[in-house]
Amino acid sequence: MFGLSLAFGYWSLEKFLRMPLHVLSHPLGAHVLTHLRDKTTKPALFRALSYQISLLLALEATRDLASVEKTIETPMETTTGHVLAKPIVVVSILRAGLGMVQPFHDTFPDVSVGYVGLERDHLTAVARSYYCKLPPLAGKRVIVVDPMLATGGSAVQAIDAVKATGGKEIVFLCIVASPEGVALMQQVHPEVPIHAGALDRQLNAKKYILPGLGDFGDRLYGT
């Protein structure tokens, strides 16, 4: 993280450290990410690894979820436990974000899923919106997922759509982030926490993350 001033010089290290950025710190996360980066990893294994790291990120991003007491009967006696106070909504940025949704389906009760379709122009690196379908968002934790936070443009557009639909308690999850993408998010949506599997060095001239892991959607679906 201390190399950020070299990659994005006009941002001070102190300002970067104040950002709501949480980089996954878990040995399994590092192990999985290494194999995701490996260009020889085949799509089937890539999908399994994407599931694993997305589950770790989902757990980290929801550790502060509110809970309420609930009285239940065990086979032995009456006791009081805790259950989640509100459902969550996962908003997937299509198409690559679909690779991060299944862990939420498998883990969290009452989860609903929304979709924001954004297609990146490979010449301009600007995303074009082609689809948006969101469930009711008021009063819910909204988790926007996209594996790559590169320029930050797609994340900003998706969160704009979430806010316009009534979302207020918003978190952004990605597997790999660039300093440039984090900086744009901080500029436009400074209150939105970012949970990332890794913070990489920089973008290249074509706006791909370095060292990165290539085109996530292509590798996920073998296209």
Structural domains in the chain, sorted by start: 4-221 (3.40.50.2020)
User: Which of 57, 12, 30 lies closest to 186 in space, CA to CA?
Assistant: 12
* Cis amide prior to 95 (ω within 30 degrees): yes
Predicted local confidence at residue 17, as pLDDT: 41
Catalytic residue among 18, 38, 124, 128: 124
Predicted local confidence at residue 3, as pLDDT: 40
Angle between helices 179-188 and 153-164 (to 10 degrees): 30
Predicted local confidence at residue 130, as pLDDT: 80
Predicted local confidence at residue 29, as pLDDT: 96
Residue 37 tokens read as: 């980066």
* Cis amide prior to 87 (ω within 30 degrees): no
pTM value is 0.85
The answer to whether the CB of 119 falls within 8 A of the CB of 130 is yes
Active site residue 120: yes
Strand partners, 90: 113, 143
Predicted local confidence at residue 222, as pLDDT: 82
Predicted local confidence at residue 19, as pLDDT: 53
* Strand 141-145, strand 88-94: pairing: parallel
Rounded to the nearest 5 degrees, what angle is found at the Cα of 177, between the Cα atoms of 62 and 105? 35
Burial (CB < 10 A; 0-12, 13-18, 19+), residue 178, is buried
Active site residue 200: no
In this structure, what DSSP letter does residue 97 have?
A: G
Predicted local confidence at residue 153, as pLDDT: 92
Predicted local confidence at residue 122, as pLDDT: 63
Catalytic residue among 38, 106, 110, 218: 218
Stretches where the chain sits below pLDDT 50 are 1-18
Predicted local confidence at residue 121, as pLDDT: 66
Active site residue 110: no
Active site residue 121: no
Catalytic residue among 120, 141, 146, 200: 120
